[in-house]
Amino acid sequence: MFRSVLLPSILLLVGCTGNDRLPTYEAFGVVGFPDGAALSGGFILFQSMEHGKVARSVIEADGTFRLRTFEPGDGALAGKHRVSVIPAKQAGFDPDEGTEPATLHVKYQDAELSGLVFEVTPEGPNDFRVVVERAPATS
């Protein structure tokens, strides 16, 4: 009898405290070029340098994004993040929408090469202006 009462109580307690998800913090911003033009469409990825967990977002037509790690709009883990940006066509968006892959420098597709590092803080605000370069002109 004791076991039948104690076991469900322990399982309930473990179930309530067993969530090992790290806290996330609201993070959003805009992706654009140095001249102020927005990068239209694609994805932005923030990879935690400490935990490896990735927060991601669609980049809207006006260049804005709102990160999610576990659920829509929950943000990103605290700490430094390497950032990559995937243009619309590379991400599988409609070919008539968004920035052409050739418009964005290819280095931004790799978080290790992009040179983009941002820090998410619990205190916020985590409002990021991500400035990217256009691809070099080809002759």
Q: How far is CA 33 from CA 22, 27, 99, 101, 106, in A?
A: 33, 20, 11, 14, 14
Q: Let me know if residue 137 belongs to a domain.
A: no
Q: What pLDDT does 102 receive?
A: 56
What angle is formed at CA 70 by the lines to CA 77 and CA 109, rounded to 5 degrees? Answer: 70
Q: Let me know if residue 12 belongs to a domain.
A: no
Q: Let me know if residue 87 belongs to a domain.
A: yes
- pTM equals 0.78
Q: What pLDDT does 103 receive?
A: 84
Q: Let me know if residue 1 belongs to a domain.
A: no
Dist. CA 3–CA 24, nearest whole Å: 38
pLDDT tens for the 139 residues of the chain, in order: 444 444 444 444 433 434 578 999 999 999 999 999 999 889 999 999 999 999 999 999 999 999 999 999 999 999 999 999 998 765 444 545 544 555 899 999 999 999 999 999 999 999 999 999 999 877 5
Q: What pLDDT does 8 receive?
A: 44
Q: Let me know if residue 51 belongs to a domain.
A: yes
Q: What pLDDT does 26 receive?
A: 97
For the domain that residue 31 is a member of, what is the CATH number?
2.60.40
Q: Let me know if residue 14 belongs to a domain.
A: no
Q: Let me know if residue 9 belongs to a domain.
A: no
Q: Let me know if residue 79 belongs to a domain.
A: yes
Q: How far is CA 41 from CA 7, 36, 58, 102, in A?
A: 52, 15, 7, 14
Query: pLDDT tens across 49-60, in order?
Result: 999 999 999 999
- Contact present, 27 and 47 (Cβ < 8 Å): no
Domain that holds residue 62: 22-131
Number of domains present in the structure of the chain: 1
Q: Give the SS3 label for residue 108.
A: helix
